[in-house]
Amino acid sequence: MRVVIVGVGDIGRELAENLIRRGGHEVVLVDSDEGRCEQLAAELDALVLHGDGTDPELLKKARVAEADALIATTGSDAINTVIAMLGHRLGVPNVVVKLNDVGLRAACREIGVRKIIAPKISAAAEIFASLYGFDRLDFSLVVRGGLQLVEIELPPDAGAVGRTLGELELPKGALVVAVLRERGERAFVPRGDTKLQAGDVLLVLGEREATLEKVKEALALK
């Protein structure tokens, strides 16, 4: 998989290190800080490019049009949104945007970006949970342990639409832990008699990538 990360701060670097550690990925890093780029080039097995992530010529040099995923994690929500727009126009199949505020979420959704990461919202949820005596799990520990938590959206033509979760032959080592419905406005823990609908987003916990591929087969995704 070819992954281009624009904005290599703490989050971008952690992601790059995880991808490189996992292996099988061609990682390209783009950052506007020249000193940081020199350090990244010396320490990571990745192509590092210095410059403005919104510059079409730089994105061309990074071969973004050939990327399987474009990740925008700069410190500016506006810049991340512009990068997402450029990636969408270039036909990148997976565009992920980090937003510190929720103000530009609607704009990102309008241009077709479905993967939006909001660290402040996650932090607020963790603080809220701690106030009520709960400890939220750090999923980075889960990933390092070999498990993966993924989102799988059901399009209208998915074979699983209209069927209950219990009717599906999910592989061993996979568990549907939650269903997001009504554009994420409603979330619940599914049961065996939960009937799946078009547009549902399933949060699936799997032991390995091969297991998650079998989940997609069970859902009859086209």
For the chain, list the domains and their CATH numbers: 2-122 (3.40.50.720), 139-218 (3.30.70.1450)
**Mean pLDDT within 27-38:** 96
pLDDT at site 151: 79
Quick check: 5 and 12 in contact, CB under 8 A? yes
pLDDT at site 53: 92
Per mean pLDDT, which range of 85-94, 128-137, 156-165, 167-176 is the poorest? 128-137
pLDDT at site 54: 93
pLDDT at site 19: 92
Report the chain's mean pLDDT, rounded to a whole number: 86
User: DSSP readout, the chain?
Assistant: -EEEEE--SHHHHHHHHHHHHH-S-EEEEEES-HHHHHHHHHHSSSEEEES-TT-HHHHHHTTGGG-SEEEE--S-HHHHHHHHHHHHHTT-SEEEEE-SSSTTHHHHHHTT--EEE-HHHHHHHHHHHHHTT-----HHHHHHTT-EEEEEE--TT-TTTTSBGGGS-PPTTEEEEEEEETTTTEEE---TTPBP-TT-EEEEEESSHHHHHHHHHHTT--
CA atoms within 13 A on the CB side of 220: 14
Q: 163 exposed, middle or buried (CB, 10 Å; 0-12, 13-18, 19+)? A: middle
pLDDT at site 111: 72
Q: What is the pLDDT of residues 104-129, one digit of tens each?
A: 777 777 777 768 777 766 666 666 66
User: 186-188 and 174-181: which strand pairing?
Assistant: antiparallel
Q: What is the pLDDT of residues 37-78, one digit of tens each?
A: 999 999 999 999 999 999 989 999 999 999 999 999 999 988
